Amino acid sequence: MTESQRGLAYGLGAYIIWGTFPLYFTLLEPTSPVEVLANRILWSCVVLFGLVIVGHRWSAIAPVLRDRRRLVLLAAASAMIAINWGFFIYGVTSNQVVQTSLGYFINPLVSVVFGVVLLHERLRRTQWVAVGLGVAAVAVLSFDYGQVPWIALVLALSFGSYGLLKKVLDMGAVESLSVETALLTPLAAAYLGYLVATGTSAWSTGDTSMTLLLASTGVVTIVPLLLFSAAATRIPLTWIGLLQYTTPVLQFATGVFILNEPMPASRWVGFSLVWIALVTLAVDSAAAVRRGRARTQLEITERAQEAH
């Protein structure tokens, strides 16, 4: 197996695991979403710091702890990932898996908008078309749901913000998430301690299987992250961009075909608009890459001719 093939396998593994998360988190019912989130933060921190110790990665973390700017950015990233995890858990446990999948479908469109608003990038015409279709989709789905699909929007905005902060930070996945979960762990531990003290924690029920499931949230969170990190170093970014749609497709299929969530005609129309927008965005990106390669090749050819 070549490095590219291995990277593709790692990437697919990561996105398939993320795509099946709804089935995993439904096993944690009737534990409240906030308690599940607190457990996920706590146990992820435990697993991550175990990896840091085993992998001797303290040298990559120590300078960050002395850099106030990066600590502020990491604190902001930790808030975004906590919001994202929390709303995802809430969406799944409140039987709104289809809407959670929508959040990850529209996330690339949110990233495009962030590029315009925050990074002052200029959009090509086809990118504007894609964004317009995304806005139309949200309008149609708002009519269908009877309200703005706020779970999807919060997921898309929080994950888009998280990705933007991670891009600015430029840290390894394990190192950055270790600090992020460490910043959140005191709050998570305090909340879990309160639940235990008041006898309202899932740990207090004596249900061993539920306790083990809650403890497993750390491993379940970190394994796909490690697979993704391994894939990112072995395959082109364009491949990663295409693979990312595996997750919302699987989540959507889980909601519709396994959990039997309703999909009236108007909802299909809204999702179809999102899918058309994503295809438009993908085609535009592919064309931009080809044009960039053509310009590079032309420049190389011109330099070679000048040299002769």
Nearest to 192 by CA among 217, 174, 162: 217
pLDDT of residue 286: 73
Helix (H, G, I), strand (E, B) or coil at 119: coil
Per-residue pLDDT tens listing for the chain (308 residues)? 788 888 889 889 999 999 999 999 999 988 999 999 999 999 999 999 888 888 777 877 888 878 888 899 999 999 999 999 999 999 999 999 999 999 999 988 888 888 777 777 787 888 888 889 988 999 999 988 889 999 999 999 998 898 888 878 777 777 888 899 999 999 999 999 999 999 888 887 777 899 999 999 999 999 998 888 788 778 776 677 778 888 999 999 999 999 999 999 999 999 999 999 888 888 887 777 677 676 776 666 656 566 65
CA distance 106 to 146: 19
Beta-sheet strands, E only, within 28-150: none
Yes or no: say if 173 and 228 are a contact pair by the CB < 8 Å rule. Answer: yes
Enter the DSSP assignment of 254: I
Supply the pTM of this predicted model: 0.88
pLDDT of residue 292: 67
pLDDT of residue 39: 96
Question: Given 3-state DSSP classes, what are the helix, strand and coil percentages for the chain, each rounded to the nearest 5?
Answer: 85, 0, 15
Beta-sheet strands, E only, within the chain: none
pLDDT of residue 298: 61
CA distance 223 to 18: 10
Residue 102 exposed, middle or buried by CB count within 10 Å (0-12, 13-18, 19+): buried
- Is the previous residue joined to 224 through a cis bond, with omega within 30 degrees of 0? no
The contacts of residue 44 (CB under 8 Å, 6+ apart) are 177, 181, 217, 218, 221, 222
Question: 246-253 and 3-19 are packed helices; what angle lies between their axes, rounded to 10 degrees?
Answer: 30
Q: End-to-end alpha-carbon separation of the chain, Å?
A: 42
